[in-house]
Amino acid sequence: MSRLLARIMLAVFMLPVAALVWIVAFMVLYEDVLRRREEQCFLVSGLVTAAFVGGYWVLLWRRSVRWNAPRVVGSVGLALGAVVLGGLVAWPMDRLESGFGSLLFGPATTFAWLVGTVFLWRETPGERASRLDARSGTSLVCPACGYNLTGLDQATCPECGVSYTIDELLASQPGREDSEIERAAAA
């Protein structure tokens, strides 16, 4: 199984695991911590699960995303936007049926953020072009900062100072995973 396929499988498994986290958090809160205050239990379980999913998602994809300032700031902004959106979904629902809003707030916020990250984290056409450019030659770039290491006789980046073995350097070139997808699609 390729690393990319393993990652996609882990992404698929995230939602059932998140459901389990929610249930366990709810049970513990309901029985021990919040003493059967159902609405608060819904809300806090949702927040615990949102934190779990956020951490899981970032860890899962961190090496596939080209991190730059707009993406980092955007991901935080997206979280704030998702909270507002979750509130806008939850509030009318709570007026409809008391407690329902507290139940929906966490999941709605989490889904909004996840969907947003897919659009924010995917490569732009310009990034794709430069990635294909870099691949078509023999250039190597620093996985940490993107500095072009072609022609250097050492595996230490002069720009950011990170050292690599040749294997690490080759394995972490941007676009390697995308080329796996592209080859699979062509086959």
Considering the complex, state which of residue 40 and residue 173 has its C-beta at the smaller distance from Zn ion: 173
Considering the complex, state which of residue 2 and residue 148 has its C-beta at the smaller distance from Zn ion: 148
- Burial (CB < 10 A; 0-12, 13-18, 19+), residue 46, is buried
Shortest separation between residue 167's beta carbon and Zn ion, angstroms = 17
Integer-rounded Cα Rg, in Å, for the chain is 21
DSSP H helices in 62-157: 69-96, 100-121, 125-136
Terminal CA-CA length for the chain: 17
Shortest separation between residue 101's beta carbon and Zn ion, angstroms = 47
Considering the complex, state which of residue 77 and residue 158 has its C-beta at the smaller distance from Zn ion: 158
Q: Which residues bind Zn ion (CB under 5 A)?
A: 142, 144-145, 147, 157, 159-160
Closest by CA to 138, choosing from 148, 126, 150, is 150
Considering the complex, state which of residue 30 and residue 147 has its C-beta at the smaller distance from Zn ion: 147
Give the rounded distance of the alpha carbon of 174 from its chain centre: 17
Shortest separation between residue 72's beta carbon and Zn ion, angstroms = 17
Shortest separation between residue 158's beta carbon and Zn ion, angstroms = 8
Shortest separation between residue 74's beta carbon and Zn ion, angstroms = 22
Considering the complex, state which of residue 48 and residue 142 has its C-beta at the smaller distance from Zn ion: 142
* Beta carbons within 8 Å of 86's beta carbon, 6+ residues apart: 104, 105, 106, 108, 109, 110, 112
